[in-house]
A and B are shown apart, each in its own frame.
Chain A
Amino acid sequence: MRDSSRSEVRYGERLTRAGQVGRSLVTSGLGIAWVTVFLLLPLLAILVISFLTVGEESPAEGPLTLENYKRFVGFGAFGFDPLYPLIIVRSLVLGAGTAGLCVMAALPLAFFVAGLPARHKNLALTLVIIPFWTNLLIRTYAWQILFAPGSFLANVAASWGLVGAGQALYPSMLAVYVGMVCDYLPFLVLPLYSSVEKIDWSLVEAAADLGADRWRTFWHAILPQVMPGLVAGIILVFIPATGQFVIPDLLGGGKVDMLGNLISRQFGASRDWPFGSAVAILGMTIVLVGLWVYARQARKGGGESII
């Protein structure tokens, strides 16, 4: 491996290790440099700054401290305060809840599209792709109109006694969830659909022939086959949903604070870069660890993972 004079033939060319490195520099060099300077270095910078504190004049100064992380997990200067840990939990619940609701909605939709005759299939699929490509901000603020006082939905909710007459349905947690599921549903339908298309229906028929009821057929003969698409879709939904700050901001008002809102505030009004960095680093770590655990479980369950 480390012998640079050793050569191997790849794609019809004989190249030494040194030759390969040279070719890499010419082709990948610029991309590696760009990603390193503008992505990896900045991420390294927030990691370092998360261990500093705000100075009188500089945005961050030494000495190194764990203060920001302690504050984020609840142990600030004035004893234990569950405010920030609650934000972590709420964000994770929102991410997982959104993913879960999207799965429940995506399953029927994916099977519906896949079950249509070929000439209608493309239309049904395009109808899922159009919202996918329509700006998320637009689809989010539209719920402000749909949930406004006096709107059809608000009147229905008022007639059921859920809210007072003439009141809006937002800002509220319900509005945040509705907006989230509506925005992210296509992210789950598309990968799930490509898995459903590949289902071997003879396995499903075999299960039914062998006397499995509909539920057991779904659980043992269909679900394992669509697992790859389901896993990919859940990852595509869970990550952005957990870090969202626009949807909670527009539909949750000031009532619903999430990780994304907390981070963005530190880099805006509060101007506490070190604390914001600590929140970003720890939040990101929690999301990635959660995904890793989930991907391992999913792989054990028979599905493949994209990570």
Chain B
Amino acid sequence: MRRVSLPLWVVAGLLYVFLYAPIVVVVMYSFNAAKYGGPWAGFTTEWYGKLLADGLKQHAAWNTVVLAVVSTVVATVIGTMLGYGLSRYWFPGKKLFSWMMYIPVVIPDIVMAVAMLMFFGLVREWTGLFELGMGTMIIAHITFQIPFVAIVVRSRLVGMDPAIEEAAHDLGATSWQVFWHVTFPQMLPGVLAGAMLAFTLSLDDFVVSFFTTGPGATTLPILIYASVKRGVTPDINALSTLIVLASVIGTIGVTLLQRRHQPTGG
């Protein structure tokens, strides 16, 4: 491998500054005493105190976590079963369906969002079901998460050596025993990777939530968007700083976990 030349250091350094400028400025301004943004007016933790007293924002944080956890658990179970089935068994139309699974990956999320919004609206008109709110938002998240989980799990299964499962069968294990003792432990890293992907997709999502939510079911991204539309306020910076902090801790935690499990790879 070649060494890094000086000009490359400079260019890369500038690009890191570019990537981190927005994050740093949000963190900095969350401690800025100036009420309406603007130049630096001294250090304060006032905005964090305000946040602690703000029930609306705490409710939104709670909603975001519930949404991410519930949708990830459901989508991981369904998506894992789907990925396993697709990697092992044939059914008529399998090829077509396997293509369709890539839809959430390759279409802009706004198309998916409005399609589901309209679908919920139409079904609601006929049946009274799917009143927009937490429920519809969870369903919508599960819907775009399932294909991502299934794709990750399937690619893990396809990469496995079939000889191990064949050996288990030859040695007299039942189908269930083979799955539980041989296949599942091997596919588990794929399941966890899929779940992690689904979780972050849900936490980060704004567009799908924005269109499929209803009154009372606000998430943090929706709350931030609505506030920023009225003008950036210091307490939004404080809230964002806490979210950034959570992301940083999450990223470092996952990186350390991965390094422990794969000592050779990055």
Contacts and interface: CB of A to CB of B under 8 A. Distances in A.
A binds B: yes
B228 interface: yes
B38 interface: yes
Contacts of B25: 142, 145-146
Contacts of B207: 245-246
B8 to A, nearest CB: 5
Interface string A101-118: 000010011011111100
A307 interface: yes
Interface in A230-265: 235, 239-240, 242-246, 250, 259-260, 263-264
B128 interface: no
A138 B232 CA distance: 11
Given A40-B100, A138-B243, A20 B166 contact: no
Contacts of A148: 37-38
A112 B8 contact: yes
Given A108-B12, A121-B266, A145-B29, A12 B111 contact: no
A35 interface: yes
A267 B117 contact: yes
B146 interface: yes
Nearest to B5: A115
B71 to A, nearest CB: 12
B21 A146 contact: yes
A24 interface: yes
B175 interface: yes
Interface stretch (B45-53, B54-62, B187-195, B247-255): B247-255
Interface residues of B, number: 98
Given A133-B250, A260-B110, A280-B110, A23 B85 contact: yes
Contact of A38 (B143, B220, B229): B143
Nearest to A26: B85
Contact of A20 (B91, B109, B143): B91
Contacts of A28: 81-82, 84-86, 89, 91
Contacts of A135: 203-204, 206, 220-221, 224, 240, 243-244, 247
A142 B12 contact: no
Most chain B CB atoms below 10 A, which of A30, A38, A115, A307? A38
Contact of B101 (A35, A242, A277): A35
Interface in B174-230: 175, 178, 200, 203-204, 206-207, 211, 220-221, 224-225, 228-229
Contacts of B200: 133
Interface in B56-86: 78-79, 81-82, 84-86
Interface in A109-167: 109, 111-116, 121-122, 125-131, 133-146, 148, 150
Assign chain A's interface to a size class: 35 or more
A134 B97 CA distance: 33
B37 A145 contact: yes
A288 B106 contact: yes
B1 interface: yes
Contact of A283 (B16, B94, B109, B111): B111
A182 B19 contact: yes
Contact of A43 (B8, B103, B117, B175): B103
Contact of A111 (B8, B102, B244): B8
A27 B81 contact: yes
A243 B81 contact: no
Interface string B1-37: 1111000110110011011111101100100000001
Nearest to B224: A137
Nearest to A134: B247
Given A28-B86, A129-B251, A12 B114 contact: no
A42 B162 CA distance: 38
A94 to B, nearest CB: 12
B122 A45 contact: yes
Contacts of A131: 19-20, 23
B224 A141 contact: yes
Contact of A280 (B102, B115, B175, B206): B115
13 contacts: A21-B90, A24-B91, A28-B86, A28-B89, A31-B85, A39-B143, A42-B119, A131-B23, A137-B228, A144-B232, A182-B19, A244-B108, A283-B108
Q: Give the top 9 A-B pairs by smallest Cβ distance, nearest first.
A: A243-B108, A31-B82, A28-B85, A12-B169, A27-B85, A142-B22, A12-B166, A42-B119, A112-B12
